[in-house]
């Protein structure tokens, strides 16, 4: 016996066009009331697992609206929300690719494998299983886009309960633009193939202040009865969209134990050093971030790092308005 419960929680769902609105409604209905089930060769039931999301700024129109409407999916001016919808929801499959990474310290080449949705710009945030090959055993991995800050992933594996929780925040400048973010659910099948389906979107519009936050949560629970024992697999993904006025410059102040200034260094946000070595007499570091609000007023925020700190973080704003968290390692 197999059951799956999927819930999507959101605030401020924005519809950029009538077609996108219909597609989003259809996707929600499909996710809330269907099962994606496969039968393994050994007779054990296997259901496609929700493993995360792939976030895009454009709606992925994968639902075959025309065919659905032609088959009486639209009647008397209303969309028919019924079990037939799943048959019209297309999937976009990922490609398993091999990448070569270079260890900056040793120069050693490291081979990794990732699932990539080729030709689609987006932010990965999912935890697939890489299949076993003749060269390596199968293993789980996490694909995390740089656009997601404050990332936290918790994985629990027990005898009868497996659970994964993924959380993160996308910081975006309200002065650059107000993009929509679409949270496309990503699944993995019994044959290890990975695919996504169209998801819902969030967007901010108008004069938005810094610190405004929206949240999208996607949850799924799969229950399997195996040899009289109930086994549960659950996934929860929570992404927040938070506004942040774009940083313009960073000033690093080194202070001694008497609170006197030792040195002052100014940096462009996109030219922050990877490492920072304080003066011997430095007791603490103040990192100032300089910004402007939507009326041109200066904003300065300060963070203090003592001798127990091993790094400090700043933000770099991309052309699309997304602010990327950047870490500078403190070397003493």
Q: What is the pLDDT of residues 189-204, one digit of tens each?
A: 989 999 999 998 887 7
Query: Strand pairing partners for 140?
Result: 129
103: confidence class by pLDDT, cuts 50, 70, 90: confident
Whether 13 and 21 have beta carbons less than 8 Å apart is answered as no
The per-residue pLDDT for range 250-269, each reduced to its tens digit, is: 999 999 999 999 999 999 99
The per-residue pLDDT for range 122-141, each reduced to its tens digit, is: 999 999 999 988 778 888 89
Q: How much is the pTM?
A: 0.77
Which element (helix H / strand E) includes 26? helix 18-33
Q: What percent of the chain has pLDDT over 70?
A: 75
* pLDDT score of 232 more than 80: yes
Whether 89 and 62 have beta carbons less than 8 Å apart is answered as yes
pLDDT value for 33? 32
Average of per-residue pLDDT across 3-24:
41
Interatomic CA distance for residues 44 and 175, integer angstroms: 53
* pLDDT score of 284 more than 70: yes
Burial of 116 (0-12, 13-18, 19+ CB in 10 A): middle
Q: Which residues contact 27 (CB under 8 A, 6 or more apart)?
A: 63, 89, 197, 198, 199, 200
Phi/psi at 135 (5° precision): -100, -20
CA distances from 314 to 114, 209, 287 (A): 28, 20, 8
Residue 186 CA to its chain's centroid (Å): 11
- 218: alpha, beta or left, given left = phi > 0 and alpha = psi -120 to 50? beta
pLDDT value for 78? 60
pLDDT value for 34? 33
* pLDDT score of 85 more than 70: no
The per-residue pLDDT for range 33-43, each reduced to its tens digit, is: 333 333 333 33
Provide the 10 A C-beta neighbour count for residue 242: 18
pLDDT value for 205? 65
Whether 321 and 179 have beta carbons less than 8 Å apart is answered as yes
Average of per-residue pLDDT across 127-156:
91
């Amino acid at each position: 016996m197999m059951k799956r419960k999927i819930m999507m929680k959101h605030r401020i769902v924005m519809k950029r066009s009538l077609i996108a609105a219909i597609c989003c409604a259809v996707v929600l209905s499909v996710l809330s009331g269907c099962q994606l089930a496969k039968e393994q060769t050994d007779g054990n039931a296997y259901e496609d697992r929700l493993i995360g999301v792939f976030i895009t700024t454009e709606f992925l129109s994968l639902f075959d609206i025309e065919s659905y409407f032609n088959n009486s999916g639209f009647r008397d001016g209303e969309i028919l929300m019924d079990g037939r919808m799943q048959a019209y929801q297309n999937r976009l499959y990922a490609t398993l690719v091999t990448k070569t990474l270079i260890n900056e310290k040793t120069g050693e080449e490291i081979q990794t494998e990732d699932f990539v949705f080729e030709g689609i710009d987006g932010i990965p945030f999912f935890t697939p299983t890489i299949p076993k090959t003749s060269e390596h055993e199968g293993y789980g991995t996490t694909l995390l886009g740089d656009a997601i800050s404050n990332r936290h992933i918790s994985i629990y594996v027990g005898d009868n309960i497996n659970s994964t929780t993924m959380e993160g925040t996308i910081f975006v400048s309200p002065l650059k633009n107000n993009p929509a973010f679409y949270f496309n659910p990503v699944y993995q099948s019994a044959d290890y193939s990975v695919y996504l389906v169209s998801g819902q979107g969030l967007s901010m519009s108008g004069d938005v202040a810094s610190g405004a936050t929206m949240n999208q949560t996607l949850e799924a629970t799969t229950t399997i009865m195996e040899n009289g024992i109930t086994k549960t697999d659950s996934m929860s993904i929570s992404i927040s969209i938070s506004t942040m006025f774009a940083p313009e410059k960073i000033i690093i102040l080194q202070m001694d134990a008497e609170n006197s200034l030792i040195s002052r260094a100014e940096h462009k946000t996109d030219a922050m050093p990877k490492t920072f070595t304080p003066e011997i007499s430095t007791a603490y570091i103040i990192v100032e971030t300089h910004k402007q609000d939507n009326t041109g007023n200066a904003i300065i925020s300060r963070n203090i790092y003592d001798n127990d700190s091993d790094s400090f973080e700043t933000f770099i704003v991309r052309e699309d308005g997304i602010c990327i968290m950047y870490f500078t390692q403190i070397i003493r």
